[in-house]
Structure 1
């Protein structure tokens, strides 16, 4: 995530990503809260539904037709093709919410160039919300009055910060529960908003930090251009500029180093 300079114009890639989100929404929303939803348990004990599979297939079919030379890395069907230009897909982020009828889930679509996410789209159709961003073109969300540009907050002290820690179990499993308690004691407000929605709240200036563990590239790639273009910063928990750290710490930018220092005391 260090180099955010686009190697070429990204407008056509962003336009395609938005069309991919349209196709994804058509698949996923039709199956949301469905009485006959098919649910299986994967080898890692997470759940997958027929909607996850159908949504990723729909995205892959369009990419195979329109970007046959690009690679794809999806949660459900793995990676194939080039890693120079690679589409990173989470067809339904928040499957646990999806299968319980909780509307906090969404599709994440990113284009990474040489490992750096340059285009990101997040669509949460059950909420009627969508966010997008690309390097050099800002971060945006759709509103009834048209696109609105996103900006992270200007909160500059931990005492005034609102944070999302995502899951107590994540932090405990990572051996970081003491740091979570320290964080909660230090900031103004702590909540577990969960999954991709928390990152979009950060990009909108409604939170100052999101951190989680046990994440894969497809869990966070689409958020990177959106948060970055909104003025925020995303690193691994140790501050590394990567999406392959299995952890992430996202902030409004201003407080990033303060959060890192606090969580590593």
Structure 2
């Protein structure tokens, strides 16, 4: 076990160094007057910074871990290898392209199908979150002078006291499940739509209690899953399986997870 822990610590150290390089790319192009914004076939935006960031991450991984596979949002890749890294160069590209500072690079390491290292780096916010299996979860907060503080989920145990977030009601409409989100909001204290990486990190920090996200890909979840779980929470799909490729996600402080799944994971529209 110590050897495994040492290996993960080395992988985490690499991921943090790569995040520094990614931040230099994304922050350097943030609000650039010549930022190029295109649309992918699914009509989601992609900027030249997305591509440049992923290419830099791939270059560094190839130099440091040449035997590891890589899956990236912009360049595709392999998820069948025993060890593979999953990269979202800019999570929150819509924000990035509009000059909104809520964006992050997500870098996760998956071993034998299990996310074990995760880094979420948001340079315009001066924030970073990271974790590795068995090593805990931590954050940096430049504005508060915090370099590496441990984080943990909330102790809220009643759904009626929960602070919840989603991404966009339109995603719920697209899958014919908007009634489930509305049912969840009726059962909880307050709801917001922070979206993307940020609401999962707020769960990990104990500032939010529940996230329900009906549209999510592996690159959206690989890194946050490690941080949330190491902070003491749970991240599953709507069926309750601990996976990042199910197309949806629920992250909670753990205490509320089953209650949330009973609402958002139901096969049909939820009742009142």
TM-score, scaled relative to structure 1: 0.95
1:33 pairs, out of 13, 27, 31, with 31
- Give deviations 1:72-101, integer Å, cap 9, x for gaps: 000000104862100000000000000000
Deviation for aligned residue 1:35: 1.2
8 Å CA contact retained: 2:91, 2:103: yes
8 Å CA contact retained: 2:132, 2:230: yes
Structure 2 match to 1:19: 17
Structure 1 match to 2:59: 61
Report whether the alignment pairs 1:98 with 2:96.
Answer: yes
Structure 2 match to 1:156: 157
8 Å CA contact retained: 2:118, 2:222: yes
Structure 1 match to 2:218: 217
Matched residue of 1:72: which SS? strand
Report the Cα distance in structure 1 between the residues aligned to 2:28 and 2:146, rounded to whole angstroms: 26
Matched residue of 2:7: which SS? coil
Report the Cα distance in structure 2 between the residues aligned to 1:192 and 1:95, rounded to whole angstroms: 16
> Structure 2: which 5+ runs fail to align?
none
Q: What is the aligned length?
A: 260
Matched residue of 2:176: which SS? coil
TM-score, scaled relative to structure 2: 0.93
Report the Cα distance in structure 2 between the residues aligned to 1:54 and 1:231, rounded to whole angstroms: 34
1:73 pairs, out of 54, 71, 74, with 71
Matched residue of 1:146: which SS? strand
Deviation for aligned residue 1:8: 6.7
Structure with the bigger RCO (C-alpha within 8 Å, sep 6+) is 1
Report the Cα distance in structure 1 between the residues aligned to 2:133 and 2:167, rounded to whole angstroms: 27
8 Å CA contact retained: 2:213, 2:250: yes
8 Å CA contact retained: 1:167, 1:194: yes
Structure 2 match to 1:253: 254
Deviation for aligned residue 1:145: 3.9
8 Å CA contact retained: 1:236, 1:247: yes
8 Å CA contact retained: 2:237, 2:244: yes
8 Å CA contact retained: 1:70, 1:82: no
Report the Cα distance in structure 1 between the residues aligned to 2:146 and 2:225, rounded to whole angstroms: 25
Distance 1:72 1:46, change over 3 A: same
Structure 1 match to 2:185: 184
Higher helix share: 2
Deviation for aligned residue 1:126: 0.5
Distance 1:81 1:262, change over 3 A: closer
Structure 2 match to 1:113: 111
8 Å CA contact retained: 2:126, 2:140: no
> Structure 1: which 5+ runs fail to align?
1-5
Structure 2 match to 1:88: 86
Report the Cα distance in structure 1 between the residues aligned to 2:225 and 2:79, rounded to whole angstroms: 22
- Give deviations 1:187-232, integer Å, cap 9, x for gaps: 0000001110111001000111111122110011000110000000
